[in-house]
Amino acid sequence: MWEVKASKRYSDMMSDYKRKLRAHTDAGREMDRPVWMSAEFWTGLKAYWSQEAVQAISERARANRMSEPDGPGTGISRHVGGSRSTRVLQQSLSLDTGLPLTAQNYSTFLRLHMREDGSFLSQRDADIDVSG
């Protein structure tokens, strides 16, 4: 459990450094490296984060996270299935219900697109016909 938590915190910390570096760069200022990080590692991170391909992936991911599938002003929509892949979720549901994996498509959809109170994350999700 400690390793999982440490991994998440490290990832969060790197994201914070990347965001702060971007703000400094946009303002025309140089950002000091974190005191615990070697100069070589910091230089490598800055070089990696400044690559056009890496920035394009970052921008695409940011746009996807902030998309509003039901139109402007309706708010962003997220899956609520957690960090497990769809396949692992289907396997878990299959074990819980005793039904084969092929019978878990609808249950998996609901688990990913429905809140605990029974409402869908977006109107688009509610309008999908999953009856086959």
**What is the per-residue pLDDT across 34-88, written as a single tens digit (0 to 9) for each?**
999 999 999 999 999 999 999 999 888 888 777 776 667 666 666 666 667 777 8
11 pLDDT above the threshold of 80: yes
- Contact call for residues 120 and 113 (beta carbons, < 8 A): yes
- Contact call for residues 81 and 107 (beta carbons, < 8 A): no
Distance between CA atoms of 75 and 119, rounded to whole angstroms? 15
Copy the structure tokens of residue 91.
Answer: 């396997």
Q: Where are the domains of the chain?
A: 2-65, 86-127
Q: Is the pTM of this model over 0.75?
A: no
Strand partners, 114: 120
Distance between CA atoms of 131 and 75, rounded to whole angstroms? 27
